[in-house]
Structure 1
Amino acid sequence: MLLVIEKVFTCEEALVFGKQLADSSWVDGKLSAGSQAAGVKTNQHLDDRIDLARGIGNVILDRLHAHPQFVSAALPSRILPPKFNRYTGGGQYGAHVDSAIMGMPGGGQIRTDLSATLFLSQPEDYDGGELVIDTRFGTQEVKLEAGDLVLYPSTSLHCVNPVLAGARICSVFWIQSLIRDNQQREILYDLDQSVQSITLDKGSEDEDVSRLTGIYHNLMRSWAST
């Protein structure tokens, strides 16, 4: 499932982050790439150990954990702290699949079930830079407003088109979900969204709402791994 979640941050909030990051020190993105990705990656990234990266990253995590649609879609078990990248001067990221296992700060590892990109630049501020994702419905190009987020399976082949003018600044991060299987996670998301809609119409005490809520939790109980 490829899902666009609009206005995780307001445009104004996201652009403030982007401005703060733009004035920081960037290094060659190849330094954070895996063996496959290093050969196709020409961007820049921010050292995620600096105070600015940690501070903005924590704000992003707090917002995500409180965002009902993100939680419903991702069912997060663990989230790798957000990283920040910049594409400019023809920078691009060729076709690749994200690493299956990534290290967590301070030790431990995370299985990457879902990948996410949070846009911190306005689309009119740079030429090119589309995130291109292969899905079962064909190739989709994503270029969103500042503050919007796209969530997609980490198994997807994807790339970032060259940025021919301006600068594209984004935050990227990975999620280990309580539901490892993409199809099961999509079923639960659709069911949860339906339950929420019916609840607004009929109320939480309605028998159909209670029955569907029970089905949701029983499927979670059957499929979830912690």
Structure 2
Amino acid sequence: MLLNFSLLDAQALARARPLLARAPWADGRDSAGAQAAQAKNNTQMPRDCAEARQLSALVLQALDGSPMFLAAALPARIYPPRFNRYRGEANHYGPHVDSAVRFGENGLRVRTDLSCTVFFSDPDAYDGGELVLHGPDGEQSVKLPAGQAVLYPASLVHEVRPVTRGERVGCFFWVQSLVRSAEQRRLLLEFDQALTTLRQREGDSPATVALTGTYHNLLRMWSET
């Protein structure tokens, strides 16, 4: 399942842009596995710089306040957000698959059920740079306005097409979900959305209370903590 959603509002983007402008940038291959490193040609913000830590906190705060992200991802763990830039000669990331497990600071281990990209550059600021997902139904190309995010299965082969004008700045991270099965996550999201609509129309009626219990019983049955 591929899901686009709004994450950062104008105020959050205004806070982020000065940090992105003054941050240091380094070779992006330091976060890639052996196979992915051969396809990767971009720059990334060092994870331990002050700007990266401030931007990571900003993104995590926005995720925590996003009902759509929480309902769709059902996050158990989030790998700390990283930030990348495509421009000039460092302008693409060829087809690759993300590592199944990411290792972070202080012994953090995250099973990469889902990948997420957050766009910081508006589409008219650069040419190319599409995120292309290669799935069983063919290619899907994603190029979203600044502040928008896309959530997709980390198991998909994907790439970032060459940026031929301007620069594309974004954020990426991985999610270990409480629910490992993609099909179960999809059903829970559909259930949650339908229940939300029903509660808006009927309030907490006996039927909506019962359905809320059913949703949580399914989540209890399927989740891992």
TM-score in same-fold range (> 0.5): yes
Over 3 Å counting, the alpha-carbon distance change for 1:146 and 1:109 in structure 2 is same
Q: CA deviation at 1:12?
A: 5.2
Contact 2:115 2:173 in 1 (8 A): yes
Q: CA deviation at 1:2?
A: 0.3
Q: CA deviation at 1:16?
A: 4.4
Q: Which runs of 5+ in 2 are unaligned?
A: none
Name the SS of the counterpart of 1:195 in structure 2. Answer: helix
RMSD, aligned α-carbons: 1.3
Q: Which runs of 5+ in 1 are unaligned?
A: none
| TM superposition score normalised by structure 2 | 0.95
Q: Distance in 2 between matches of 1:15 and 1:209?
A: 40
Per-residue CA deviations over 1:45-66 (Å, capped at 9, x if unaligned) read: 0101111100110111111112
Range that drifts further, 112-121 or 89-98: 89-98
**1:194 partner amino acid:** A
**1:188 partner amino acid:** L
Q: Distance in 2 between matches of 1:17 and 1:95?
A: 29
What does 1:61-72 correspond to in 2, within 5 Å?
Answer: 61-72=60-71
What does 1:83-162 correspond to in 2, within 5 Å?
Answer: 83-90=82-89, 91-162=91-162
Residues 1:43 and 2:20 are matched in the alignment: no
Q: Distance in 2 between matches of 1:68 and 1:115?
A: 17
**1:164 partner amino acid:** T
**1:170 partner amino acid:** G
Per-residue CA deviations over 1:34-93 (Å, capped at 9, x if unaligned) read: 101011000000101111100110111111112111100010001011100000015101
| TM superposition score normalised by structure 1 | 0.95
**Corresponding residue pairs, total:** 224
Q: Distance in 2 between matches of 1:125 and 1:208?
A: 49
Range that drifts further, 18-27 or 125-134: 18-27
**2:58 partner amino acid:** V
Q: Report the equivalent of 1:34.
A: 33
Name the SS of the counterpart of 2:188 in structure 1. Answer: helix
Name the SS of the counterpart of 1:117 in structure 2. Answer: strand
Per-residue CA deviations over 1:164-205 (Å, capped at 9, x if unaligned) read: 01010001011111001111101101100110010001112x
Q: Which runs of 4+ in 1 moved over 6 A?
A: none
